[in-house]
Amino acid sequence: MTEAEIRTLVIEREFPHPPEKIWRALTQGPLIEEWLLKNDFHPAVGHRFSLQQTPMPQWDGVIDCEVLVVEPNKTLAYTWNALGLKSVVTFTLTPTPGGALLRMDQSGFRPGEERNYQGAKFGWQRFLGNLEQLLARPG
């Protein structure tokens, strides 16, 4: 399999908030639970954690992850392993005049994983919408 056969989902959103505020939402467990999923996340390279959603008949609802990169207020990356999909999720924050651009990449979709790719595309749009709502709250 060539590198060209492996797909990456990319979603970018600009937020009217500083990178530091977005970073907190990406790295603090209680905030992650509000916009993404229940978790035992800790922002330390090598930390293994799980994200948990409602189980389905064919799946226990657990996503196994490991932190790969932590560059405060800039880059966060971790593995995302569930339902046979082994991928890497990377968040990159870039300051803008009005706040920050958040880029989310999920890489590792192999040929034959179109269903996983489309599911991730739908899911991340919803998750990032939740993040937007969380960030818009005062405080």
Q: Kindly give the confidence (pLDDT) of every residue in the chain, 139 residues in length, as a single tens digit, with 9 standing for 90 and above.
A: 565 689 999 999 999 999 999 999 999 999 999 999 999 999 999 999 999 987 666 667 899 999 999 999 999 999 999 888 899 999 999 999 999 999 999 999 999 999 999 999 999 999 999 999 999 998 6
* Residue 82, amino acid: A
**Domain 3-136 = CATH 3.30.530.20:** yes
Distance CA 130, CA 135 (A): 9
| Closest residue by Cα to residue 26 from 12, 14, 39, 9 | 39
Q: What angle do CA 91, 99, 95 make, to 5 degrees?
A: 55
Max CA pair span of the chain: 48
Contact 65, 51 (CB under 8 A): yes
Name the residue ranges covered by the structural domains of the chain. 3-136
Q: What is the pTM of this model?
A: 0.93
